[in-house]
Chains A and B, each alone.
Chain A
Amino acid sequence: MAGSSDGNDEVQWCFSQVKGTIDDDIAEADIISTVEFNHSGELLATGDKGGRVVIFQQKPESKNLPQRRGEYNVYSTFQSHEPEFDYLKSLEIEEKINKIRWLPQKNAAHFLLSTNDKTIKLWKISERDKRPEGYNLKEEDGRYRNASSVTSLRVPVFKPMDLMVEASPRRVFANAHTYHINSISVNSDCETYLSADDLRVNLWHWEINDRSFNIVDIKPDNMEDLTEVITAAEFHPNQCNTFVYSSSKGTIRMCDMRTSALCDNHAKLFEEPEDPNNRSFFSEIISSISDVKFSHSGRYIMTRDYLSVKIWDLNMESRPVETYQVHDYFRSKLCSLYENDCIFDKFECCWNGNDSVVMTGSYNNFFRMFDRGYRQDVILEASRDNCKPRSVLKPRKVSSGGKRKKDEISVDSLDFNKKILHTAWHPLDNIIAVATTNNLYIFQDKVN
């Protein structure tokens, strides 16, 4: 990580911005459901339960204050998905945005994929800062002139105008998923992407929206035999033939699309044998993987299950190379968490730009970072209490029982309603975006 003035090279995180209302009364539609930086980090997209996408753009760094990174301001807001009703099944299809993925930028416009439970859409976000003026046959307001009143001709010219950011849907990829889509992933071949639901993974081509290839199908012939579902899927960042998908039983399967059209048979199976000492009725539930992410290098996979983050080396299937406990103090509370359904919460995780630090969220608006190199970890809190600009975040401590030291928070007073499920790390810089229920916090590391 970038060093600071501290001798121990530890990064200090500072508050930068917070987006969203302060209201305690949270509107359902405002609940943030996904957060994603684009490939340059200039744009930060969020999706919410109301089907809207909000994109923030980083202001260029000020010349007066070098090294102080620009702020993120709203760049574009649009309604990506609307609620639908499936009349055949009498089911409402939620408009909640499950995932957003940016495409690598090829020209001035930006493209992103957004998906709800059933439909994936490709959006083009483009800027317009000029408009043509001086048409011969049209008035400025668009009305057509009477042709007979035109006495001279002129060439229309482009005049500058206020910047307008337009989002337009370019493709709609619909009706390919029977179950709820949980993941989308852009392929490095710049031609295809995958989408995964509970039982199937489909491969799409950008240009073709009326059909997709099914590449993984784990639906049993008899649904009575269903014991495992797909929870996440992702393409390898460099190898366009390789992707992984994770399951509710805590396994990760890596597939090679060159071997066969249908990748039901995995090339590699990553699974850690169960620890017999920790066995309980909840073992399977807490082993269910909620997120899987390749490292930027493509050498490692990170998985998030309920209590831990695991790093796997692609070359070793038998066990992870690193395991980090996110909130082990909940291990003795699994029954209560099962009862209030919190045990089914799906936390995401993310890598920093050089794969040296990983981050994930927890309850009570806490989030955790694990430095793989220095073997350090920290608990931080996203809260309106430390919202002074550039105030350094103080690490939090949780006491699991017995004597509670000063500054420690008792595990029993942690708020399960305040969960940080979605976090994102700038691909190049130490800037992180952390989503609480309806607020987006942006933190950056302290610069001198």
Chain B
Amino acid sequence: MFPKGTKRKFSDSGEEAGSNGDQGQAASTSVAAPRTLTSSYSLQRQSLLDMSLIKLQLCHMLVEPNLCRSVLIANTVRQIQEEMTQDGTWQIMTQALAAAQCPSDRLVATEVLCRQTDPATAAQAGQSPKPFSVVGLEEGYHSEEVVMEGEVETEVTMSTLSPVSQQMPSASYLAGPFGMGPCWEEEDEDGDGEDEDDDEEDSEECVSEGEEGDRDHLRADSRTGEQVFGTFEIKHPVPPADPALEELFSDVDPSYYDLDTVLTGMQSSPKMGPYDLLESLSSHGPTTLSSSSTCRSDLNELDHIMEIIVGS
């Protein structure tokens, strides 16, 4: 296999959920120095992170809520996050996204991913952020209100994290697209499903089944503002899900991809899913800083579109 000290490789080089364009680079999962990351590896890792976050968010939409599954997914996210922090990739990504100021009433959930346990030690290199938690998964997976000290208001958290104060808005942006509602996931699957295996269709069906079956669940959730998984706190009041919303999103379908191109400020492959959005952001890395102004105006557009969709 690989010599000792080589970076862990993705086990699935041929079939990635993120529909990466540059799979050809998979072969280059390297025998290079341990800390060198191929862009393919980091893309794969990013798409895995995105996929995991979506799964966690949609936990409550499963027909059969499953604590074991949620814990395993959360642990996976934690692992990725730790590795990204060690690589420094986490900092780069969040800084890049921080340039795009996002209103705090977006999905702020993953701010916990960025939150440091201790601002002092956070200054030290390699200190991993506080692990992703499964708060709220007890009692039949409808959570109690998450009360983690000092972080219900993300602004408060921000102020306590001096070295990493930029992370909050970036984290919220990171999860922003995920906050668009349950049907969003369905659309995404449609988009991604084109070139993928039958496996994809299965998961698509699972999601839609779960959605339809649990629409009432979701309604109850959003109304009371409960989180399924402690860190996913939807601060922006999610509208009660209803069939009309689904139709609304089905109309949005083609324009969704335009949204993508708008946000990333580039013309990319026509069928882009959420993974593409974020991977294109992360792959641009530091260079995104230069396009931050574009991002900002694009995000204002995003706000506008969100308002329309939400019907506020």
Query: Interface residues, chain A, CB within 8 Å of chain B?
Result: 86, 89-91, 94, 96, 178-180, 198-199, 219, 222-229, 231, 248, 276-282, 284-285, 288, 331-342, 344, 412, 416-417
Taking CB atoms and an 8 Å cut-off, the chain B residues in 24-78 that contact chain A are: 44-45, 48, 51, 55, 64, 66-69, 71-72, 74-76, 78
Q: State whether B10 touches A281 (Cβ < 8 A).
A: yes
Provide the residues of chain A in CB contact with B78, threshold 8 Å.
227
Provide the residues of chain A in CB contact with B179, threshold 8 Å.
none
- Could you list 28 examples of A-B contacts with CB < 8 Å? A89-B140, A91-B140, A222-B135, A223-B230, A224-B148, A226-B137, A227-B74, A228-B71, A278-B1, A280-B8, A282-B11, A284-B76, A285-B76, A288-B68, A288-B72, A331-B11, A332-B11, A332-B13, A333-B12, A335-B11, A336-B199, A338-B48, A339-B200, A340-B202, A340-B203, A341-B203, A344-B68, A412-B197
State whether A416 and B202 are in contact (beta carbons under 8 Å apart), knowing that A331-B11, A333-B12, A344-B69 are contacts in the complex.
Answer: yes
Q: State whether A332 touches B138 (Cβ < 8 A).
A: no
Q: A198-B68, A248-B71 are in contact. List 16 more A-B contacts (CB 8 A).
A: A222-B135, A223-B133, A223-B135, A223-B137, A224-B148, A225-B133, A226-B71, A226-B133, A231-B68, A277-B1, A288-B68, A335-B11, A336-B17, A338-B48, A344-B66, A416-B202
Query: Interface residues, chain B, CB within 8 Å of chain A?
Result: 1-2, 4, 8-17, 44-45, 48, 51, 55, 64, 66-69, 71-72, 74-76, 78-80, 131, 133-142, 148, 196-200, 202-203, 206, 217, 220, 230
Give A49's nearest chain B residue, CB to CB: B64
Provide the residues of chain A in CB contact with B133, threshold 8 Å.
223-226
Instruction: Report the separation of the CA atoms of residues A416 and B134 in the bound assembly, to the nearest whole angstrom.
Output: 29
Instruction: Report the separation of the CA atoms of residues A418 and B55 in the bound assembly, to the nearest whole angstrom.
Output: 23
Provide the residues of chain A in CB contact with B48, threshold 8 Å.
281, 335, 338
Q: State whether B197 touches A336 (Cβ < 8 A).
A: yes
Q: State whether B199 touches A284 (Cβ < 8 A).
A: no
Give B54's nearest chain A residue, CB to CB: A339
Would you give the shortest CB distance from A189 to chain B, in whole angstroms? 30
Instruction: Report the separation of the CA atoms of residues A331 and B9 in the bound assembly, to the nearest whole angstrom.
Output: 13
Instruction: Report the separation of the CA atoms of residues A336 and B141 in the bound assembly, to the nearest whole angstrom.
Output: 26
Q: State whether B135 touches A417 (Cβ < 8 A).
A: no
CB < 8 Å neighbour of B8 from A225, A279, A342, A344: A279
Instruction: Report the separation of the CA atoms of residues A286 and B150 in the bound assembly, to the nearest whole angstrom.
Output: 36
CB < 8 Å neighbour of B199 from A86, A94, A337: A337
Would you give the shortest CB distance from A386 to chain B, in whole angstroms? 24
Provide the residues of chain B in CB contact with A223, threshold 8 Å.
133-138, 230
Q: State whether B199 touches A340 (Cβ < 8 A).
A: yes
